[in-house]
């Protein structure tokens, strides 16, 4: 998995190009929304929103806070900051358009450039995630022309805490405060657990949203209020296969028993190929997705600064939803991040 064979690298890049060619042609004839750039959602989208059982770096988030991972446990305190590379472009757009707040430009630009901070001591990790863009369930207009608008119109700040009880058991919780511009619109919270028997992960997550409505990351994020999601992943030699079932507990809620699946293949350390799919609950709609992660920054860092999970700098995802055989909506996502 960690080798750098030129043959493997060429094969991976060719496969990524083929995936892109298959997924994107219909996008030209569809409504297209863009989550580019965003600080953390590309991996989840690329894998069919089927990541509840996966461990993840800060820029590769899953809905299950128990999967948030930095370093291997150690006695000393270690901290990390996450910069949003796409924030450079967003800052330029912010200063150019009429949405900027007079007298608050420096503060707002800082929020666009710094997407998170985390501290780990032994088995405890605490993180704060800043200005994460969200949309209300079903309101895809949030991401129309997103690449040319400010992400500050609707977002959340989040605090996560993770406890690694055992190398094979992690529990975590997350609190989100949702905002429209600078007006708070309520709090959401979630908690979860991941069990890691040999080559298998089992993840379970519970979600609550504010009374003002569900806030989700992208159109294929199908979380329901007061609902439990569970999933399993099989991991072997750089290959991950995940299966996830949304909303196991509320038959009157959205996405009841909705199946999602995803795969990730990392033929070399610096390339991850991803794909996924889902069938909408009680509907003839379905979706498939694909994407890639590039340049695992662990290969560039001293051993003491390497994460326990891949630390991809550049991530891209594409998804298309269908009604029966007719494509309806295409979406793209780009994440550029660097950890200090």
Confidence of residue 18 (pLDDT cuts 50, 70, 90): low
Cα(178)–Cα(214) distance, integer angstroms = 10
Residue 1: the pLDDT is 45
Please indicate whether residue 137 or residue 286 has the higher confidence score (pLDDT). 286
Torsion angles phi and psi, residue 7, rounded to 5? -60, -45
Please indicate whether residue 9 or residue 123 has the higher confidence score (pLDDT). 123
Confidence of residue 127 (pLDDT cuts 50, 70, 90): very high
Q: What is the pTM of this model?
A: 0.90
Confidence of residue 106 (pLDDT cuts 50, 70, 90): confident
Cα(171)–Cα(155) distance, integer angstroms = 25
Confidence of residue 276 (pLDDT cuts 50, 70, 90): very high
Residue 28: the pLDDT is 52
Cα(280)–Cα(284) distance, integer angstroms = 7
Handedness of CA 227, 242, 40, 237 (dihedral sign): positive
Average pLDDT over residues 269-276: 96
Please indicate whether residue 140 or residue 193 has the higher confidence score (pLDDT). 193
Q: Is the pLDDT of residue 3 over 50?
A: no
Confidence of residue 12 (pLDDT cuts 50, 70, 90): low
Average pLDDT over residues 122-136: 94
Percent of the chain scoring above 70 in pLDDT: 89
Confidence of residue 14 (pLDDT cuts 50, 70, 90): low
Cα(321)–Cα(331) distance, integer angstroms = 9
Average pLDDT over residues 184-188: 95
- Per-residue pLDDT reduced to its tens digit, 24-33: 555 456 788 8
Q: CB atoms < 10 A from the CB of 17, how many?
A: 11
Q: Is the pLDDT of residue 301 over 80?
A: yes
Average pLDDT over residues 110-126: 93
CB 102 within 8 A of CB 72: no
């Amino acid at each position: 998995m960690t080798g750098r064979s030129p043959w493997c690298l060429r094969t991976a890049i060719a496969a990524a190009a083929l995936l892109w060619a298959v997924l994107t042609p219909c996008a030209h004839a569809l409504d297209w929304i863009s989550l580019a750039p965003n600080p953390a959602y590309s991996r989840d989208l690329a894998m069919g929103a089927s990541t509840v059982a996966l461990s993840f770096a800060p820029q590769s988030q899953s809905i299950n806070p128990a999967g948030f991972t930095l370093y291997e446990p150690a006695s000393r305190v270690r901290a990390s900051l996450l910069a949003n590379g796409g924030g450079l472009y967003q800052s330029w757009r912010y200063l150019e358009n009429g949405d900027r707040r007079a007298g608050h430009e420096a503060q707002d630009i800082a929020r666009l450039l710094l997407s998170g901070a985390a501290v780990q001591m032994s088995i405890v990790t605490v993180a704060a995630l800043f200005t994460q863009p969200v949309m209300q369930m079903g309101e895809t207009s949030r991401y129309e022309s997103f690449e040319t608008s400010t992400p500050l119109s609707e977002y959340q700040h989040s605090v996560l805490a993770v406890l690694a009880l055992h190398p094979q058991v992690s529990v975590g919780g997350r609190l989100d405060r949702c905002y429209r511009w600078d007006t708070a619109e309520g709090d959401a919270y979630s908690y979860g657990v991941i069990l890691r028997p040999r080559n298998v992960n089992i993840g379970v997550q519970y979600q609550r949203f504010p009374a003002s409505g569900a806030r989700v990351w992208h159109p294929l994020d199908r979380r329901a209020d007061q609902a439990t999601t569970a999933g399993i992943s099989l991991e072997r030699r750089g290959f991950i296969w995940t299966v996830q079932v949304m909303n196991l507990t509320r038959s009157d809620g959205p996405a009841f028993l909705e199946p999602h699946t995803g795969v990730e293949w990392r033929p070399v350390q610096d390339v991850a190929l991803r794909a996924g799919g889902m069938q909408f609950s009680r509907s003839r709609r379905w979706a498939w997705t694909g994407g890639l992660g590039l340049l695992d920054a662990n290969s560039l860092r001293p051993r003491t600064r390497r994460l326990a999970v891949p630390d991809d700098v550049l991530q891209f995802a594409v998804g298309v939803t269908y009604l029966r055989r007719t494509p309806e909506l295409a979406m793209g996502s780009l994440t550029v991040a660097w950890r200090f």
